[in-house]
Chain A
Amino acid sequence: MTDRALVVVRAGALTTVQDRGRPGYAHLGVPRSGALDPSAAALVNRLVGNPPDAAVLETTLDGCALRPRSSVTVAVGGAPCPVSVGGRPAAWGAPVVVPPGELLEVGTATAGVRGYVAVCGGIAVEPVLGSRATDLLSGLGPAPLAVGMVLPLGVPAGPPARVDGVPQPRPPAELVLRVTPGPRDDWFTARAVRDLTTRVYRVAAASNRIGLRTEGPVLERARPGELPSEGMVLGAVQVPPDGRPVVFLADHPTTGGYPVIAVVRAADLPAAAQALPGTPVRFVPVRRR
């Protein structure tokens, strides 16, 4: 049995294994999945010397605690939070060595929602369709972390980065999401289209890896009924019958029957993944590139 493993001591509210997901299978009903904040995941991988597609842990609000069986270099990034090793404070956003048997404690986020923990060598659970990501919609990939779970680690690809830390964007107080209209904006009243881009929404507590749910002005439909099922993209702003827009994130369904009024630029989705419930959201119309 290998010593290159982590034992889960505290799983946190929701901690999953994530990488860049499994694009290319949407036609079989397989969501892309993958880290909600891919730039934060890539950064912590770089800090420990991993390739950008190595699997990391994605935490939700309250972190997690892990005990490595051998000495490992880790880096914690994404949502800022306190980090400690063996009870002593350690650096956030920088490579940290955790000796064998010592406890790595990733604390509650002081801003933002999703934290990322990279371990040199990457989390080496068995890939499914080319990815180790946990997909909470379809159940592919490993189950979310649970106390006592043992996570195998891969072989380190290279030495950790020779930087002490790198700046990471702090979660904004207001979430600004640039949108292009359509493809189904004609299913809504002119007023609804105007409301979406001029009124303020708030992030709803029911948000998850599938979608960022919002509270705010109800978007009224110009025509009733459902669309025949059609393909859905990442960032689609789908409007269910309650009239409150949902922004599709990584675990979104591949097809759906509720109309999509607009699509959020992919570059703005990492910020959406870090927005706490109650954060104001503005949808800002932009020209298509």
Chain B
Amino acid sequence: MRALRVGDDALLVEASSGEEAQALHAELLRRRAAGALTVREIVPAARTVLLDGVDDPARRAAELTAARVPEVPSRARELIELPVRYDGPDLAAVAGRWGVTEREAARIHAGTEFTVAFCGFAPGFGYLTGLPDRYDVPRRATPRTAVPAGAVALAGPYTGVYPRSSPGGWQLIGTTDAVLWDHARVPAALLAPGARVRFVPVEGA
């Protein structure tokens, strides 16, 4: 791992893979909970974890460069089930790329255990990993001006669920009625980094 200084009081820790970044994130949360780390924000992303507002960044950088992070036992992490109808307008195109039928594409997606690698784009929008590399799909050539809330979508290696209606370029494969973001709820975000997610097919409209 490599820790890059960011401004006066932040560190960007680079991992060698997405999995290592997730393990590092879990380890940093443990250290903060144990009182061994004072930091304002811990922001995981695709291959990095940002520590913003960290005490003694120079010392932390040295510490983290030398650190080995234990793997995260998956059963220790919360499992969230999202009901889904595989009725998205891009399901046929995605199935075509995968070389399978739409029904089989839905079966593959629903048979995968995902992990919330990180959040971004909008409050409560999680970037979920878990599908094997061969199922990567490109973004749409032309983004939609409005993607409905609850749309289950794919782009690159990620699955995401739109927390609210917004423009978007991801491939829409389904719909969930789960409320991804509700600022009056505690917690506001249904999906937080590190959580496990399964999509559970439901019948009907």
Give me the interface of A with B, judged by CB distance under 8 Å.
23-30, 128-129, 138-140, 180, 182-183, 228-233, 235-236, 253-255, 260, 263-266, 288-289
Contacts and interface: CB of A to CB of B under 8 A. Distances in A.
The A interface, classified by DSSP as helix, strand, loop or mixed, is: loop
A231 to B, nearest CB: 3
Contacts of B48: 228, 230-231
Given A140-B123, A254-B120, A27 B6 contact: no
B43 A26 contact: yes
B77 interface: no
B44 interface: yes
B123 A30 contact: yes
A260 B52 CA distance: 15
Nearest to B2: A183
Contact of A231 (B49, B188, B189): B49
24 contacts: A26-B50, A27-B43, A27-B119, A29-B121, A29-B189, A30-B123, A180-B8, A182-B6, A183-B4, A183-B12, A229-B45, A230-B12, A231-B49, A232-B50, A233-B7, A233-B50, A233-B52, A236-B7, A255-B118, A264-B7, A265-B7, A266-B8, A288-B8, A289-B8
Contact of B120 (A180, A255, A264, A266): A255
A229 B4 CA distance: 15
A254 B183 CA distance: 17
Nearest to A254: B120
Contacts of A229: 45-46, 118, 120, 127
Interface in B94-122: 118-122
A289 B5 CA distance: 11
Interface string B1-40: 0001111101010000000000000000000000000001
Most buried by B among A27, A254, A265: A27
Q: Which 3 A/B pairs are nearest by Cβ-Cβ distance?
A: A231-B50, A228-B46, A263-B7
Contacts of A265: 7-8
B137 interface: no
B147 interface: no
A230 B46 contact: yes
Contacts of A180: 5, 7-8
Contacts of A289: 8
Contacts of B122: 29, 138
A14 B34 CA distance: 44
B22 to A, nearest CB: 12
A128 B183 CA distance: 6
B60 interface: no
Interface in B44-92: 44-50, 52-53
Contacts of A27: 41-44, 118-119, 192-193
Contacts of B150: none
B174 interface: no
A28 B119 contact: yes
B125 interface: yes
Contact of A28 (B12, B46, B188): B188
B41 A26 contact: yes
A23 B49 CA distance: 17
Contact of B45 (A233, A255, A264, A266): A255
Given A138-B122, A229-B45, A264-B7, 4 more contacts: A138-B123, A231-B43, A253-B121, A263-B8
A273 B12 CA distance: 26
Contacts of A230: 12, 45-48, 50
Contacts of A183: 4-6, 12
A29 B164 CA distance: 13
Contacts of B52: 26, 231, 233
